[in-house]
Amino acid sequence: MRPENHLLLWSALLCLPAAATASNVHRCEDASGKITFTTLGCPDGHSTRLQRAFNAPPGTRIDVLPPANTAQTARGKPADQTPVVVGTRDDGCGNRLSAEQRRAAIINQRTPPGMTQRDVESLLGRPDKVTNRNGELHYVYNQKKGRSNKVTFDENGCVKGKR
């Protein structure tokens, strides 16, 4: 084989991968609306539509959505307005404890007024004894050496303060 033929063969082989990245795909739809994609062709009785498939090489970035207009929002208002908080967290105890106070109480193993039953059970676990008197719920936790810890809740399920 002559050197010119080798050069022609190599140049043809180098061009093959570029042409192999895209192919035609048949979109087949039957009478019930089921859609099937195939490269072999559609069976009889299916509607056929030819689609060109592009398989992007790895690392290619394809934007699915158009870039957003950062100057204005969807309603045409300027985007530099501050957000408005519509709702706040309601723990059922009048939000007497902030998130920081609640975290500090849990870290320090304390049950301040305003803690919920869920917070107390998360902190101390299930109570050893539960009593209910005059609309007040009492959790009793037995500790070492015969001591006990008592937590009193009001009718809303919030820790009551000492009187």
The 3-state DSSP class for residue 159 equals: strand
Distances (CA, A) of 52 to 29, 34, 58, 95, 143: 17, 20, 19, 60, 74
The residues with which 8 forms a beta bridge, in sequence order, are none
Task: Write down the mean pLDDT value for the chain.
Answer: 79
136-155 pLDDT, tens digit per residue, is 899 999 988 888 889 999 88
Q: Taking 80 as the threshold, does the pLDDT of residue 54 lie above it?
A: no
Comparison of pLDDT for 23 and 33, the residue scoring more: 33
Residue listed under structure tokens 């109480």 = 105
Q: Taking 50 as the threshold, does the pLDDT of residue 102 lie above it?
A: yes
Where along the chain do its domains lie?
16-54, 99-153
**Environment class of 119 (CB within 10 Å of its CB; exposed 0-12, middle 13-18, buried 19+):** buried
Q: Taking 80 as the threshold, does the pLDDT of residue 7 lie above it?
A: no
Q: How many C-beta neighbours within 10 Å does residue 111 have?
A: 20
